[in-house]
Amino acid sequence: GAGVSQSPSNKVTEKGKDVELRCDPISGHTALYWYRQSLGQGLEFLIYFQGNSAPDKSGLPSDRFSAERTGGSVSTLTIQRTQQEDSAVYLCASRREDLSYEQYFGPGTRLTVT
Amino acid sequence: AQSVTQLDSHVSVSEGTPVLLRCNYSSSYSPSLFWYVQHPNKGLQLLLKYTSAATLVKGINGFEAEFKKSETSFHLTKPSAHMSDAAEYFCVVSSAGGTSYGKLTFGQGTILTVHP
């Protein structure tokens, strides 16, 4: 079956511009997570959705970062006024509603801020 | 709070020799633990998982890991390395409940190099 998909796969933007990153989870997966992978910080949790609600936003690095999820499916991560330190690979993962905790990851979006 | 420490940032082995990637965890409850692998320019793939069943867990591609509560360890092993095993490996612990249900905390990663 189809896995987690993310778009775009690569994004180059100028400092100060806004960007939107999209995640399509596996059909039927109620939980969705965003992570960021950067050279200096490794893999970090950003935000967790259960359905359309985000009970844990503790990993969002600043108020320039926001995310939403609609219809219990697609999620969008928005970064406003991008900075060079935002350059990273942004990963999305989804999980079934059971106790396996296993998350399936998408291929990521590589964001480069120039 | 939970955390994982991968004890080696780089491991180098010869093809056909055993692989050992070390991981220690810290968790205030019985943890769920995972090993993920990331090949160059590829996504994260689950190798194996421990979720309070058998302490010796077998995964894909001949890898296995043993959960040792007394040592708070979850080391990854493989009897015989293959060139295709060259990749970065992440030890991961999962949050069990509350508002962070399922949230993954990653170790810093171990880069495995396999020499012919």
Which pLDDT does position A38 carry in this prediction?
92
What does the alpha-carbon distance between residue A72 and residue B8 come to, in Å, rounded to a whole number? 39
Question: B103 — contact with chain A (CB < 8 Å)?
Answer: yes
pLDDT tier, A14 (very low <50, low <70, confident <90, very high otherwise):
very high
Nearest CA distance, A61 vs chain B (angstrom): 16
Beta-strand pair A5-7/A31-38: unpaired
DSSP-assigned letter for residue A86: G
Cβ within 8 Å, pair A42-B101: no
pLDDT single digits (tens) A73-86 = 999 999 999 999 99
- Which residues 55-84 of B are in CB contact (within 8 Å) with A? none
Which pLDDT does position B76 carry in this prediction?
98
- Phi first, then psi: what are they for A85, rounded to 5°? -70, -10
Cβ within 8 Å, pair A48-B103: yes
First-to-last alpha carbon distance for chain B, in angstroms, is 41
pLDDT single digits (tens) B55-109 = 899 999 999 999 999 999 999 999 999 999 999 999 999 877 666 778 899 999 9
Helix (H, G, I), strand (E, B) or coil at B83: helix
Residue B107: its chain A contacts at CB < 8 A?
A: 42
Cβ within 8 Å, pair B42-A105: no
User: Which of A44, A91, A95 is closest, CB to CB, to B102?
Assistant: A95
Cβ within 8 Å, pair A105-B101: no
Low-confidence winner among A10-14, A98-102, B86-90, B108-112 (lowest mean pLDDT): A98-102
What does the alpha-carbon distance between residue B5 and residue A114 come to, in Å, rounded to a whole number? 33
